[in-house]
Structure 1
Amino acid sequence: MTVPETTPEIAQQRAQQTAEAVRAAMLAKDTVLRTLGITVDSIGPGRASASMPVRADMLNGFAICHGGLVSTLADTAFAYACNAYDELTVAAGFSVDLLAPSHAGDVLTAVAQELSKSGRTGLYDIEVRNQRGERVAMFRGRSYTMKGRPVIGGLPVQRGA
């Protein structure tokens, strides 16, 4: 009796290991995350979550977190989710609906989930909630995969860093 080289459990474990390696490779070069205090809390094939504390220097003239920063957090979860397969994937477009304000001291968490991936394109929904579980924003991202270009070992070298 021969034992198959790959079982569904082994394939799932390898996919998770790949996603973790992608996270490490991307984090090593992602200066925006360090600047904004964003952490990538979890990653897996087609999914990721990221968190960001809202600081006083992130507030707009109405003393609420700037919508662009909420979008950046959601875009981060989106980027890590769609790159988790170790194929360089970029945003082809996105839309965001800001549903509630967030304030200094809040901690926002964006959770990205793949809805569809076919050929070179993908579709992802990202929900942003505050520490009380209140929905702050909904983000939908469309991705484009550059087949044959890995993330691990394929990211450009930063100049001057």
Structure 2
Amino acid sequence: MNPLPEPSAIVQLMMANDAFSQWLGITVEEIRPGYCSLSMIVRPEMTNGFGITHGGIAISLADSALAFAANAAGRMAKTVQLSCQYIRPVNAHERLQATAIETERTHRFSYIEVIITRGSEKIAALHGMAYLSDKEWVIPPTS
């Protein structure tokens, strides 16, 4: 049995193939199995008709944090459920931080809580679940 790749290598490979997370401008701050911290700056094109950040941006940021945290343990995982409670509105040009923490892991599921903050203010709280496949991550050799 080969050793599992480092969490950072898994997330680098995921990000290289994740056009949407790249479009969001996500920066990976910290990654380890069951934990991920991401940040991004809200751009004007991410706002809605009320002039505040579209709710889908918070959910998308949280979805990436959840997926990276679940996959960092070495098995391929996909988000299957994510619910969001919005607490405060966000404006363009503000920096958001998403912190995903795995609260429980079974053979098939990873249960993760994601908190999105702006500085010390909580913006949104999310609860989600990722399905864990039997496939392990393999990082292709570099040439």
Offset, 1:121: 0.9
Partner Cα distance (2:88, 2:7) in 1: 31
Match of 2:124 among 137, 143, 148: 137
Q: Which runs of 4+ in 1 moved over 2 A?
A: 150-154
Partner Cα distance (2:68, 2:30) in 1: 9
Q: Is the 8 A contact 1:55 1:105 kept in 2?
A: yes
Structure 2 residue matching 1:25: 3-state secondary structure: helix
Offset, 1:153: 4.1
Partner Cα distance (1:84, 1:121) in 2: 14
Paired residue total? 138
Offset, 1:55: 0.9
CA RMSD of aligned residues (A): 1.6
| Structure 2: tracts of 5 or more residues without a match | none
Q: Is the 8 A contact 2:10 2:139 kept in 1?
A: no
Offset, 1:150: 2.3
Q: Is the 8 A contact 2:66 2:128 kept in 1?
A: yes
Q: Percent identity?
A: 33
Q: Is the 8 A contact 1:56 1:104 kept in 2?
A: yes
2:110 aligned with 1:125: no
2:129 aligned with 1:151: no
Instruction: Summarize deviations over 1:78-104 as a string: whole Å, max 9, x none.
Output: 010000012110112111111100001
Instruction: Summarize deviations over 1:88-135 as a string: whole Å, max 9, x none.
Output: 1011211111110000111000000000001111110000001x3111
Partner Cα distance (1:39, 1:99) in 2: 23
Structure 2 residue matching 1:88: 3-state secondary structure: strand
